Structure 1
Protein backbone atom coordinates (compact mmCIF):
# COMPACT_ATOMS: atom_id res chain seq x y z
CA UNK A 1 0.00 0.00 0.00
CA UNK A 2 1.25 3.49 -0.85
CA UNK A 3 1.60 5.83 2.12
CA UNK A 4 1.41 9.55 1.41
CA UNK A 5 2.19 12.53 3.63
CA UNK A 6 0.17 15.61 2.64
CA UNK A 7 1.65 18.82 4.06
CA UNK A 8 -0.34 22.04 4.03
CA UNK A 9 0.76 25.48 5.18
CA UNK A 10 -2.41 27.13 6.42
CA UNK A 11 -3.58 30.46 7.78
CA UNK A 12 -6.23 29.32 10.24
CA UNK A 13 -7.61 31.99 12.56
CA UNK A 14 -9.13 31.38 15.96
CA UNK A 15 -12.66 30.05 15.61
CA UNK A 16 -12.18 28.75 12.06
CA UNK A 17 -12.17 25.10 11.03
CA UNK A 18 -8.78 23.48 11.59
CA UNK A 19 -8.70 22.11 8.04
CA UNK A 20 -8.80 24.50 5.08
CA UNK A 21 -11.55 24.07 2.50
CA UNK A 22 -9.10 23.19 -0.28
CA UNK A 23 -7.31 20.49 1.72
CA UNK A 24 -10.60 19.11 3.03
CA UNK A 25 -11.84 18.81 -0.56
CA UNK A 26 -8.72 16.86 -1.54
CA UNK A 27 -9.07 14.51 1.43
CA UNK A 28 -12.79 13.97 0.85
CA UNK A 29 -12.15 13.06 -2.79
CA UNK A 30 -9.23 10.73 -2.04
CA UNK A 31 -11.01 8.93 0.79
CA UNK A 32 -14.08 8.47 -1.40
CA UNK A 33 -12.01 6.43 -3.87
CA UNK A 34 -12.66 2.69 -3.55
CA UNK A 35 -8.92 2.00 -3.37
CA UNK A 36 -8.38 4.19 -0.32
CA UNK A 37 -7.23 2.16 2.65
CA UNK A 38 -6.25 -0.84 0.55
CA UNK A 39 -3.98 0.59 -2.16
CA UNK A 40 -3.10 3.96 -0.66
CA UNK A 41 -3.44 5.98 2.54
CA UNK A 42 -2.99 9.71 3.16
CA UNK A 43 -1.77 11.27 6.39
CA UNK A 44 -2.43 15.02 6.58
CA UNK A 45 0.10 17.25 8.36
CA UNK A 46 -1.39 20.75 8.75
CA UNK A 47 1.01 23.56 9.70
CA UNK A 48 -0.75 26.73 10.84
CA UNK A 49 1.65 29.55 10.02
CA UNK A 50 -0.27 31.93 12.29
CA UNK A 51 0.82 29.85 15.28
CA UNK A 52 4.46 29.34 14.36
CA UNK A 53 7.04 31.92 15.41
CA UNK A 54 10.32 30.41 14.23
CA UNK A 55 9.06 28.65 11.11
CA UNK A 56 12.20 26.75 10.10
CA UNK A 57 12.97 25.18 13.48
CA UNK A 58 9.36 24.42 14.38
CA UNK A 59 8.63 22.80 11.03
CA UNK A 60 11.70 20.61 11.46
CA UNK A 61 10.48 19.64 14.92
CA UNK A 62 7.07 18.68 13.51
CA UNK A 63 8.66 16.55 10.80
CA UNK A 64 10.98 14.82 13.24
CA UNK A 65 8.11 12.79 14.75
CA UNK A 66 7.61 10.98 11.42
CA UNK A 67 9.53 8.05 10.00
CA UNK A 68 9.79 9.71 6.60
CA UNK A 69 11.30 6.65 4.96
CA UNK A 70 7.97 4.82 5.21
CA UNK A 71 6.22 7.31 2.90
CA UNK A 72 6.06 6.66 -0.83
CA UNK A 73 5.28 10.30 -1.57
CA UNK A 74 5.12 13.69 0.10
CA UNK A 75 2.59 16.12 -1.37
CA UNK A 76 2.89 19.82 -0.52
CA UNK A 77 0.41 22.63 -1.13
CA UNK A 78 2.02 25.80 -2.51
CA UNK A 79 0.46 29.21 -1.90
CA UNK A 80 1.95 32.70 -2.04
CA UNK A 81 2.22 32.85 1.77
CA UNK A 82 4.24 29.64 1.92
CA UNK A 83 6.25 29.84 -1.29
CA UNK A 84 9.44 30.79 0.57
CA UNK A 85 9.21 27.60 2.64
CA UNK A 86 8.91 25.04 -0.16
CA UNK A 87 12.52 24.61 -1.26
CA UNK A 88 13.90 24.67 2.31
CA UNK A 89 11.30 22.03 3.17
CA UNK A 90 12.27 19.75 0.29
CA UNK A 91 15.94 20.08 1.28
CA UNK A 92 15.07 19.21 4.87
CA UNK A 93 13.02 16.20 3.77
CA UNK A 94 16.03 14.83 1.88
CA UNK A 95 18.34 15.52 4.83
CA UNK A 96 15.96 13.59 7.08
CA UNK A 97 16.06 10.50 4.87
CA UNK A 98 13.12 10.87 2.49
CA UNK A 99 14.13 9.51 -0.93
CA UNK A 100 10.83 9.08 -2.78
CA UNK A 101 8.74 11.42 -4.92
CA UNK A 102 7.73 14.93 -3.92
CA UNK A 103 4.47 16.27 -5.37
CA UNK A 104 3.71 20.00 -5.55
CA UNK A 105 0.38 21.62 -6.31
CA UNK A 106 -1.49 24.85 -5.67
CA UNK A 107 -1.69 28.34 -7.20
CA UNK A 108 2.08 28.87 -7.19
CA UNK A 109 2.40 25.80 -9.41
CA UNK A 110 -0.65 26.41 -11.59
CA UNK A 111 0.41 29.93 -12.56
CA UNK A 112 4.10 29.29 -13.12
CA UNK A 113 5.70 28.18 -16.37
CA UNK A 114 9.09 27.48 -14.77
CA UNK A 115 8.25 25.04 -12.01
CA UNK A 116 11.11 22.67 -12.75
CA UNK A 117 13.62 25.51 -12.39
CA UNK A 118 11.92 26.98 -9.32
CA UNK A 119 11.57 23.65 -7.50
CA UNK A 120 14.44 21.46 -8.77
CA UNK A 121 14.09 18.65 -6.23
CA UNK A 122 10.45 17.81 -7.00
CA UNK A 123 9.26 15.03 -9.29
CA UNK A 124 5.56 15.70 -9.92
CA UNK A 125 3.73 19.01 -10.39
CA UNK A 126 -0.04 19.49 -10.42
CA UNK A 127 -1.58 22.36 -12.36
CA UNK A 128 -5.19 23.34 -11.71
CA UNK A 129 -7.78 21.58 -9.58
CA UNK A 130 -5.93 18.81 -7.84
CA UNK A 131 -8.43 16.20 -6.68
CA UNK A 132 -8.19 13.77 -9.61
CA UNK A 133 -4.62 14.73 -10.51
CA UNK A 134 -3.36 14.08 -6.98
CA UNK A 135 -5.02 10.66 -6.99
CA UNK A 136 -3.28 9.82 -10.28
CA UNK A 137 0.05 11.15 -9.00
CA UNK A 138 -0.20 9.04 -5.85
CA UNK A 139 -0.97 5.87 -7.82
CA UNK A 140 1.67 6.55 -10.48
CA UNK A 141 4.14 3.69 -10.14
CA UNK A 142 6.42 4.06 -13.17
CA UNK A 143 10.01 5.23 -12.60
CA UNK A 144 10.33 9.01 -12.95
CA UNK A 145 13.36 10.03 -14.99
CA UNK A 146 12.26 13.64 -15.53
CA UNK A 147 9.63 15.85 -13.83
CA UNK A 148 5.99 15.09 -14.63
CA UNK A 149 3.13 17.57 -14.97
CA UNK A 150 -0.41 16.46 -14.11
CA UNK A 151 -3.11 18.87 -15.30
CA UNK A 152 -6.61 19.41 -14.00
CA UNK A 153 -9.13 16.84 -15.13
CA UNK A 154 -11.39 16.92 -12.09
CA UNK A 155 -15.10 16.32 -12.57
CA UNK A 156 -16.43 18.61 -9.84
CA UNK A 157 -19.68 16.66 -9.65
CA UNK A 158 -17.66 13.75 -8.21
CA UNK A 159 -16.13 15.78 -5.37
CA UNK A 160 -17.95 14.89 -2.13
CA UNK A 161 -19.12 17.50 0.34
CA UNK A 162 -16.46 18.26 2.94
CA UNK A 163 -19.23 18.56 5.52
CA UNK A 164 -21.12 15.36 4.73
CA UNK A 165 -17.87 13.39 4.80
CA UNK A 166 -16.81 14.99 8.09
CA UNK A 167 -13.52 16.36 6.75
CA UNK A 168 -14.66 19.69 8.16
CA UNK A 169 -16.75 18.91 11.24
CA UNK A 170 -19.80 20.99 12.09
CA UNK A 171 -20.60 21.88 15.68
CA UNK A 172 -23.84 23.01 17.24
CA UNK A 173 -24.12 26.78 17.28
CA UNK A 174 -21.37 27.26 14.71
CA UNK A 175 -21.67 30.77 13.30
CA UNK A 176 -19.92 30.35 9.96
CA UNK A 177 -19.17 27.70 7.35
CA UNK A 178 -17.28 27.99 4.10
CA UNK A 179 -19.28 26.94 1.03
CA UNK A 180 -17.91 26.65 -2.49
CA UNK A 181 -20.54 26.82 -5.23
CA UNK A 182 -18.28 27.60 -8.17
CA UNK A 183 -14.55 27.57 -8.81
CA UNK A 184 -12.69 30.24 -10.67
CA UNK A 185 -13.59 33.69 -11.93
CA UNK A 186 -14.71 34.61 -15.48
CA UNK A 187 -12.50 37.73 -15.44
CA UNK A 188 -8.73 38.12 -15.89
CA UNK A 189 -7.81 41.25 -13.93
CA UNK A 190 -4.18 42.13 -14.62
CA UNK A 191 -3.51 43.18 -11.02
CA UNK A 192 -4.43 39.76 -9.57
CA UNK A 193 -1.81 37.09 -8.88
CA UNK A 194 -4.29 34.26 -9.45
CA UNK A 195 -6.31 35.11 -12.53
CA UNK A 196 -9.22 33.21 -14.01
CA UNK A 197 -8.49 30.15 -16.10
CA UNK A 198 -9.29 29.88 -19.78
CA UNK A 199 -12.05 27.38 -19.13
CA UNK A 200 -14.11 27.95 -16.02
CA UNK A 201 -15.65 25.01 -14.26
CA UNK A 202 -18.73 25.30 -12.12
CA UNK A 203 -20.14 22.88 -9.63
CA UNK A 204 -23.91 22.84 -9.74
CA UNK A 205 -25.36 24.27 -6.54
CA UNK A 206 -28.47 22.09 -6.89
CA UNK A 207 -26.27 19.01 -6.53
CA UNK A 208 -24.92 20.31 -3.23
CA UNK A 209 -28.02 21.69 -1.55
CA UNK A 210 -28.35 18.49 0.49
CA UNK A 211 -24.88 19.04 1.95
Structure 2
Protein backbone atom coordinates (compact mmCIF):
# COMPACT_ATOMS: atom_id res chain seq x y z
CA UNK A 1 0.00 0.00 0.00
CA UNK A 2 2.93 2.35 0.55
CA UNK A 3 3.86 2.43 -3.12
CA UNK A 4 0.29 3.44 -3.98
CA UNK A 5 0.53 6.26 -1.48
CA UNK A 6 3.73 7.49 -3.14
CA UNK A 7 2.08 7.45 -6.57
CA UNK A 8 -0.82 9.54 -5.30
CA UNK A 9 1.53 11.90 -3.47
CA UNK A 10 3.45 12.54 -6.67
CA UNK A 11 0.39 14.15 -8.20
CA UNK A 12 0.18 16.63 -5.31
CA UNK A 13 -3.52 17.04 -6.08
CA UNK A 14 -5.85 17.58 -3.10
CA UNK A 15 -8.33 14.77 -2.55
CA UNK A 16 -11.19 17.28 -2.39
CA UNK A 17 -10.31 18.51 -5.88
CA UNK A 18 -10.18 14.97 -7.24
CA UNK A 19 -13.54 14.27 -5.62
CA UNK A 20 -15.00 17.39 -7.22
CA UNK A 21 -13.74 16.28 -10.65
CA UNK A 22 -15.32 12.86 -10.15
CA UNK A 23 -18.66 14.41 -9.17
CA UNK A 24 -18.68 16.81 -12.13
CA UNK A 25 -17.80 14.06 -14.59
CA UNK A 26 -20.48 11.80 -13.12
CA UNK A 27 -23.10 14.56 -13.38
CA UNK A 28 -22.29 15.26 -17.04
CA UNK A 29 -22.29 11.57 -17.95
CA UNK A 30 -25.20 10.29 -15.89
CA UNK A 31 -27.80 13.07 -15.77
CA UNK A 32 -30.75 12.57 -18.14
CA UNK A 33 -30.79 14.69 -21.28
CA UNK A 34 -33.63 17.03 -20.17
CA UNK A 35 -31.70 17.98 -17.04
CA UNK A 36 -28.50 18.61 -19.02
CA UNK A 37 -30.40 20.77 -21.50
CA UNK A 38 -31.60 23.01 -18.68
CA UNK A 39 -28.01 23.73 -17.61
CA UNK A 40 -26.66 23.87 -21.18
CA UNK A 41 -24.44 20.81 -20.77
CA UNK A 42 -26.01 18.40 -23.24
CA UNK A 43 -23.90 19.57 -26.18
CA UNK A 44 -20.76 19.36 -24.05
CA UNK A 45 -21.51 15.71 -23.23
CA UNK A 46 -22.09 14.93 -26.88
CA UNK A 47 -18.85 16.61 -27.96
CA UNK A 48 -16.56 15.65 -25.08
CA UNK A 49 -18.28 12.70 -23.45
CA UNK A 50 -15.26 10.42 -23.86
CA UNK A 51 -13.06 12.88 -21.96
CA UNK A 52 -15.54 13.12 -19.12
CA UNK A 53 -15.63 9.33 -19.04
CA UNK A 54 -11.85 9.18 -18.86
CA UNK A 55 -11.85 11.86 -16.16
CA UNK A 56 -14.40 9.91 -14.12
CA UNK A 57 -12.38 6.71 -14.47
CA UNK A 58 -9.09 8.31 -13.42
CA UNK A 59 -10.50 10.39 -10.56
CA UNK A 60 -12.55 7.47 -9.22
CA UNK A 61 -9.48 5.22 -9.34
CA UNK A 62 -7.42 7.75 -7.38
CA UNK A 63 -10.19 8.11 -4.81
CA UNK A 64 -10.40 4.33 -4.41
CA UNK A 65 -6.63 4.16 -3.93
CA UNK A 66 -6.82 6.93 -1.31
CA UNK A 67 -9.63 5.06 0.44
CA UNK A 68 -7.62 1.85 0.41
CA UNK A 69 -4.57 3.61 1.84
CA UNK A 70 -6.68 5.23 4.58
CA UNK A 71 -8.29 1.90 5.54
CA UNK A 72 -4.89 0.17 5.51
CA UNK A 73 -3.37 2.78 7.80
CA UNK A 74 -6.31 2.69 10.18
CA UNK A 75 -6.22 -1.11 10.41
CA UNK A 76 -2.44 -1.12 10.89
CA UNK A 77 -2.67 1.55 13.58
CA UNK A 78 -5.43 -0.40 15.34
CA UNK A 79 -3.44 -3.63 15.49
CA UNK A 80 -0.24 -1.77 16.40
CA UNK A 81 -2.11 -0.15 19.29
CA UNK A 82 -3.48 -3.51 20.42
CA UNK A 83 -0.01 -5.06 20.27
CA UNK A 84 1.51 -2.18 22.26
CA UNK A 85 -1.15 -2.43 24.97
CA UNK A 86 -0.58 -6.17 25.28
CA UNK A 87 3.19 -5.64 25.34
CA UNK A 88 2.87 -3.05 28.13
CA UNK A 89 0.68 -5.35 30.24
CA UNK A 90 3.13 -8.22 29.80
CA UNK A 91 6.06 -5.98 30.75
CA UNK A 92 4.25 -4.78 33.87
CA UNK A 93 3.75 -8.38 34.95
CA UNK A 94 7.47 -9.10 34.55
CA UNK A 95 9.11 -6.03 36.05
CA UNK A 96 12.58 -6.43 37.51
CA UNK A 97 13.63 -4.96 40.86
CA UNK A 98 15.08 -1.74 39.45
CA UNK A 99 12.03 -1.08 37.25
CA UNK A 100 9.72 -1.56 40.22
CA UNK A 101 11.77 0.95 42.20
CA UNK A 102 11.36 3.52 39.41
CA UNK A 103 7.60 3.02 39.20
CA UNK A 104 7.25 3.33 42.97
CA UNK A 105 8.48 6.91 42.59
CA UNK A 106 5.16 7.75 40.91
CA UNK A 107 3.26 6.37 43.91
CA UNK A 108 5.57 8.26 46.25
CA UNK A 109 4.97 11.52 44.38
CA UNK A 110 1.23 10.80 43.90
CA UNK A 111 1.68 12.05 40.35
CA UNK A 112 1.48 10.74 36.82
CA UNK A 113 4.48 12.79 35.69
CA UNK A 114 7.84 13.14 37.43
CA UNK A 115 11.39 14.05 36.41
CA UNK A 116 13.69 11.12 35.73
CA UNK A 117 17.09 10.52 34.09
CA UNK A 118 16.09 8.84 30.85
CA UNK A 119 19.52 7.29 30.26
CA UNK A 120 19.37 5.18 33.40
CA UNK A 121 18.91 1.51 32.36
CA UNK A 122 15.67 0.94 34.31
CA UNK A 123 14.09 4.16 33.04
CA UNK A 124 15.24 3.50 29.49
CA UNK A 125 13.85 -0.05 29.63
CA UNK A 126 10.44 1.18 30.81
CA UNK A 127 10.35 3.82 28.07
CA UNK A 128 11.32 1.34 25.36
CA UNK A 129 8.51 -0.93 26.52
CA UNK A 130 5.95 1.89 26.35
CA UNK A 131 5.38 1.82 30.11
CA UNK A 132 6.75 5.35 30.44
CA UNK A 133 6.62 8.23 27.95
CA UNK A 134 8.78 11.33 27.71
CA UNK A 135 6.40 14.25 28.17
CA UNK A 136 8.73 17.20 27.56
CA UNK A 137 11.47 18.17 25.13
CA UNK A 138 13.30 20.42 27.57
CA UNK A 139 15.64 18.76 30.02
CA UNK A 140 18.87 19.25 31.91
CA UNK A 141 22.15 17.40 32.11
CA UNK A 142 23.24 15.96 35.47
CA UNK A 143 25.75 13.47 36.80
CA UNK A 144 23.05 10.76 36.68
CA UNK A 145 22.01 11.49 33.10
CA UNK A 146 19.69 13.74 31.14
CA UNK A 147 16.66 14.72 33.21
CA UNK A 148 13.28 15.03 31.49
CA UNK A 149 9.65 14.97 32.57
CA UNK A 150 8.43 11.40 32.17
CA UNK A 151 4.81 10.21 32.42
CA UNK A 152 3.00 6.93 32.87
CA UNK A 153 1.43 5.87 29.58
CA UNK A 154 -2.36 5.55 29.46
CA UNK A 155 -2.17 1.75 29.48
CA UNK A 156 0.27 1.78 32.40
CA UNK A 157 -1.89 4.13 34.44
CA UNK A 158 -4.89 1.87 33.84
CA UNK A 159 -3.14 -1.30 35.03
CA UNK A 160 -0.41 -0.23 37.45
CA UNK A 161 -1.23 -1.23 41.03
CA UNK A 162 0.63 -1.64 44.35
CA UNK A 163 0.98 -5.39 43.91
CA UNK A 164 2.99 -4.99 40.70
CA UNK A 165 5.64 -2.93 42.53
CA UNK A 166 5.70 -4.97 45.77
CA UNK A 167 3.97 -2.49 48.09
CA UNK A 168 0.56 -4.16 48.40
CA UNK A 169 1.38 -5.32 51.94
CA UNK A 170 1.69 -1.67 53.00
CA UNK A 171 -1.61 -0.49 51.51
CA UNK A 172 -4.40 0.82 53.75
CA UNK A 173 -7.89 1.26 52.32
CA UNK A 174 -10.35 4.03 53.16
CA UNK A 175 -14.14 3.81 53.38
CA UNK A 176 -14.57 5.68 50.09
CA UNK A 177 -12.61 3.05 48.16
CA UNK A 178 -9.29 4.88 48.02
CA UNK A 179 -5.98 3.65 49.37
CA UNK A 180 -2.75 5.03 50.75
CA UNK A 181 0.59 3.75 52.01
CA UNK A 182 1.12 3.20 55.69
CA UNK A 183 4.01 5.01 57.39
CA UNK A 184 5.92 1.75 57.34
CA UNK A 185 5.26 1.46 53.63
CA UNK A 186 6.41 4.99 52.91
CA UNK A 187 9.61 4.34 54.83
CA UNK A 188 10.14 1.06 52.96
CA UNK A 189 9.76 2.83 49.63
CA UNK A 190 12.22 5.51 50.72
CA UNK A 191 14.71 2.84 51.77
CA UNK A 192 14.38 1.07 48.42
CA UNK A 193 14.50 3.97 46.00
CA UNK A 194 16.54 3.83 42.79
CA UNK A 195 20.24 4.42 43.38
CA UNK A 196 20.20 7.63 41.34
CA UNK A 197 17.39 9.34 43.29
CA UNK A 198 19.60 10.94 45.96
CA UNK A 199 21.77 12.69 43.38
CA UNK A 200 18.70 13.55 41.29
CA UNK A 201 16.95 15.18 44.25
CA UNK A 202 20.10 17.14 45.07
CA UNK A 203 20.25 18.42 41.50
CA UNK A 204 16.55 19.36 41.46
CA UNK A 205 16.93 21.17 44.78
CA UNK A 206 19.81 23.23 43.40
CA UNK A 207 17.85 24.00 40.22
CA UNK A 208 14.88 25.17 42.28
CA UNK A 209 17.07 27.25 44.59
CA UNK A 210 16.33 25.15 47.64
CA UNK A 211 18.85 24.46 50.41
CA UNK A 212 20.29 20.95 50.30
TM range (shorter): under 0.3
More helix per residue = 2
> Could you say which structure has the larger radius of gyration?
2
TM-score when normalising by structure 1 = 0.21
Higher-RCO chain (CA-CA 8 Å, sequence separation at least 6): 1
More strand per residue = 1
